[in-house]
Structure 1
């Protein structure tokens, strides 16, 4: 399963772990209260994995592609990394499954503190529509991930502030119901 912790406030390299001292880990159950779900799957056999197939069917993840984020494979690499790290939300759930490499998703808790979620090969995560988040590579500077969607893919990020969207209002309602 994914590992998660509260982040320090350092402005240093975004690709470092940014753990508080002393460390404050965040349990998977705490992430679920934020609407964040994670799975551990068999990335070596993703094309035939019955567990992935089951998750896709149960959640209607009908569309998928694979993206490799590395300076040699992603056009406008530095610009893309910078935009991925801008705090934003989406109007649909964001589903990512790590096939190779590693990186971080950061999400806000109910008190607006950053939680860093470390993802590596075999980890799958779903971030609910309306949650503020960001993504960065770790110091390995490489990740290969499957992107899954319900219906046609929509990658539009809405940078903070984006509180006027219905997806954000629904997410805030979800948080108050789980408080």
Structure 2
């Protein structure tokens, strides 16, 4: 099964609901690529020894890795962290996430500033480019276990919108003009 993504409605009910438009407006992997968002499907059951994951890490230079479990019993300050992850923000580095278990959503902005929701489940690996506005939330299962990958040392700093004055945001916007 491949990734599912769609344009979101503007309802402000629970962020963990799907928020699909009626009728649904799906977004393809090719459309996500034009935004700099890339996707792989891997076998999460063998993540510790997976040659495909090793290959991706080597090719992309993802030297750092850790694992986070997002669940109320596992993550200190769970509610606070979920609120923080759901604030619209950008990073100065790519964001790379590999879902090892459970489910979650990444929301990204398209070229017209509309929200696209990307549904992530076990085995999904996604990269969001530096400078893209995005946010993260769990779905209604309230659980995910994810691998976080970085090139070099991890940088956890998020810059909440508006952050348009960052060079990386300007570079990102320029990169969209070619696609």
TM-score (norm 2): 0.99
Is 2:140 the counterpart of 1:142?
no
Paired residues for 1:122-161 under 5 Å: 122-161=123-162
Deviation at 1:79, TM superposition (A): 0.4
Q: Which runs of 5+ in 1 are unaligned?
A: none
Deviation at 1:69, TM superposition (A): 0.2
Q: Which runs of 5+ in 2 are unaligned?
A: none
Deviation at 1:2, TM superposition (A): 1.5
Is 2:25 the counterpart of 1:18?
no
Q: Which residue of 1 aligns with 2:121?
A: 120
Q: Which residue of 2 aligns with 1:162?
A: 163
Q: Which residue of 2 aligns with 1:110?
A: 111
TM-score (norm 1): 0.99
Deviation at 1:174, TM superposition (A): 0.4
Q: Which residue of 2 aligns with 1:90?
A: 91
Deviation at 1:63, TM superposition (A): 0.3
Alignment deviations for residues 21-52 of structure 1 (CA, whole Å, 9 cap, x no partner): 00000000000000000000000000111100
Paired residues for 1:12-51 under 5 Å: 12-51=13-52
**SS class of match (1:169):** helix
CA RMSD of aligned residues (A): 0.4
Determine the C-alpha separation between the residues in 2 that align with 1:27 and 1:136: 21
Deviation at 1:7, TM superposition (A): 0.2
Q: Which residue of 1 aligns with 2:66?
A: 65
**SS class of match (1:154):** coil
Determine the C-alpha separation between the residues in 1 that align with 2:118 and 2:90: 16
